[in-house]
Structure formats: C-alpha cells, structure tokens
Amino acid sequence: MSNQLTRRDFAIRTAGFGLAGFNLAWGLAPAATLAETEQASRSETSPAIADPYSLVDPELLPTLKQFPAFGLSLEMVRQFRQMPGAPPLPAPAPQPVERHIPGPPGAPEVRLWVVDPAPAEKGKPLFLHMHGGGFMMTGPGWMPLLQEIATDCHCVVVSVDYRLAPETRYPGALEDNYAALKWVHAHAAELGIDRSRIAVGGESAGGGHAASLAIHARDRKKRDRNEPDRNKEDVPICFQLLIYPALDDRTGSSNPPPPAIGNFIWTASANRLAWSSLLGVPAGSSKVPAAAVPARVASLAGLPPAWIGVGSIDLFVEEDMEFARRLVHAGVATELLVVRGAFHGFDLLVPDGEASKQFSASWKSALRQAFAAGKAV
C-alpha cells in the first residue's frame, strides 16, 4: 500500500486502527527496549483459525473485506495528524465552539470543543468526551459525532483535545482530562449545566481515558476526605460511557488473545505498540504503573455507573467483559453489551448496518437514562 492516504484510511483514525507497523522512534523507551518491542511485533504469529471471516456478522463482512490490512509508519501517522477532519454539520445542528482553559500546573492550555444544543436553557446535563485514536491521533468524524450526541441526548458536549502520545506520556493526557472536568464543574453556571449530571465517556482509546478519569476523580475525592486541610476538588461524575474501551495494556503482550478475537482492524501488536507509546515503558511489563491502566487498578468500588459496549471479535472483548465483571462485584451499576460478530470500530465502518444502529441506540439510551436519574457519585 502506498503512503497516499485514502479517505477510508483517514476515517479509521476515529477508533485508532491499524498501528501494527507503527514506528516508535519518537523515543518512548530506551533503544534496546524499542528494538525488542519492534522485533516482537514483526515476529508475532497469531494463533490461526480456519476462517476468521466466518465469525463476522454477514452484514459487516463486505465492508470489512474491502478494507486492506496495513501498518502505519511514523510518516503516515504524521500525515494523519495534518489532514483536516470532517467539517461540522451545518445548522440547524448545534455548532461547536472552541475554548481554551488553563492546563495542569506547568503544562500548556487545554483546548476544548463545546457543543450546546440549547444555549438559553439552564440545568442541562453535560457529557465530557474523550476522543479515540490509539492514544496518538484524533478522529476525523469528531465534530459530527459531538453534534449528534448533543442533539440526540439533549446535553452539552465538551470534548477534550488532550495531549497525544508518544510526545506526551502518562499522566499528561489524564491531567488534561481532569483539568477539563474541574473546569466544567467550576463553570456550570456559564455553561448552563447541572453539576450533578456530568457524565464522562469516549470510544476506544477515549474510553480508556474516560475510565482512567473516573478512577482518578474518585481517588482525588478520597484523598481530600483524608486530608481535610487540602483544598477540596470534589467533581462528581454521574455516569461513564465506555465504547469498546482500551482498558488493559496487557492484552496482546503478557495476555495473548485467543484465536477468535483481534484478527481485524485492531490487532495484538497494534495494541502493544499503542500502549507502549502512552506509557513510555513496554506494555504488559512490570514497569507499568498500576494507576496508569484501568484494568490494573486494585479496586473499582465507588465508581460511577457504567455502560460498556464491544464486539464479540474485538480485541478488547475479554478485557471489557472482565472490567464489567469487576464493576458489578464492586457494587457499581453496570450494563454490558457484546455485539455478535462485530470487530473494533464496526459502527464507524458500517454505520447503516443493523448491528451498528442497535449499538448506537443502546449507548445513547443509556446516556439519556443516566441523565434522567441525575445522581452523581
């Protein structure tokens, strides 16, 4: 495949696809570690099944077969970053407004995109969104998605343009997202929102960032309770919407996937490289700090209710189901949807498919119900 990027290649950034051949020469780890990681990627042989395509939903299959398997080079990632995204939907769709807020101490400002479906209305719910893109890119369909959520769920949507890996490693993006959470809470009156109805969420890498943010907000609240002399930073969250989230760096490294999953779009080697770029150490290794990875956090008690959705042949299906199980065991109200025969980002590649429409309807319904309940933790 040539380095000339097609519109389809560009579109797949939204879920962070196709990083199997990504060059990590941006210096995320020592040279020896990098060489080992890249060699493991090149030499990996996934367990084979007779016909992986036989597991795919027949309605999704024709589009999937048109999609070529390829690995991104550093140059292609740079091109992806430079290409313009899809323009906002025209009015009467609510229009995005760019805002810049103070970043974490010592860090640059954080850019936000705010979409308000009813600027004159007060007491609206708010959805704080973190985009996908394999921790390293942003999605081309970002703006239309924000407008769609704002309209269909009648909420203010604030999307965080967090700093990207590997130039910014953990906890940079988390700090940006937390700065945004504090800002929307502090500026509730200006935004016309109800502080008790702030949800967080995202897709793929963005779902992982959202889960990390919910954990971080819980832990900051616990710290403030134990240290009464500190300034309070209680920023309650009512819900977490996790759309095929990336939750575990060990998937594809120390935890090899079974033969039936992760064969399409987002592979074990892609996941290994993406997580390594975020963490600055090899994914799956003992060097990974537990606080950096939602699946490694010891306790999930006290987190907001969650909706988790994933395809049955998505590389993330096992880690997402395990995270849902742990949430349930911790007493967190949780809904899990596993879509038969669906691969990573299926709803983006085949948006008009029946499975995709049911998937989108489910998470939008869950978000609306969470806003109706209006109870933050």
The catalytic residue positions are 204, 314, 344
Taking a C-beta distance cutoff of 8 angstroms, is the pair 274, 16 a contact? Answer: yes
Identity of the amino acid at 43: S
DSSP state of 251: B
Q: Quick one: tokens of 95?
A: 């229009």
Q: How many other CB atoms are there within 10 angstroms of residue 120's CB atom?
A: 6
**Cα–Cα distance, 172 to 84 (Å, whole number):** 24
Helices (H) and strands (E) in the chain, counts: 12, 8
**Cα–Cα distance, 339 to 128 (Å, whole number):** 25
**Cα–Cα distance, 363 to 307 (Å, whole number):** 7
> Taking each helix axis from N to C terminus, what angle separates 205-226 and 172-186, rounded to the nearest 10 degrees?
70
Q: Is the peptide bond before 171 cis (omega within 30 degrees of 0)?
A: yes
In sequence order, what DSSP letters do the residues of 65-100 get, joined into one string? Answer: HHSPP----HHHHHHHHHS--PPPPPTTSPPPEEEE
> Which residue's entry shows tokens 């395509």?
53
**Cα–Cα distance, 47 to 53 (Å, whole number):** 14
* Closest CA relative to residue 239, chosen from 348, 121, 335: 335
> What are residue 337's phi and psi, to 5 degrees?
-125, 120
Cβ-Cβ contacts under 8 Å for 128 (sequence gap 6 or more): 158, 159, 160, 177, 180, 181, 184, 198, 199, 200, 201, 210, 213
* Closest CA relative to residue 113, chosen from 80, 81, 153, 85: 85
Taking a C-beta distance cutoff of 8 angstroms, is the pair 332, 300 a contact? Answer: yes
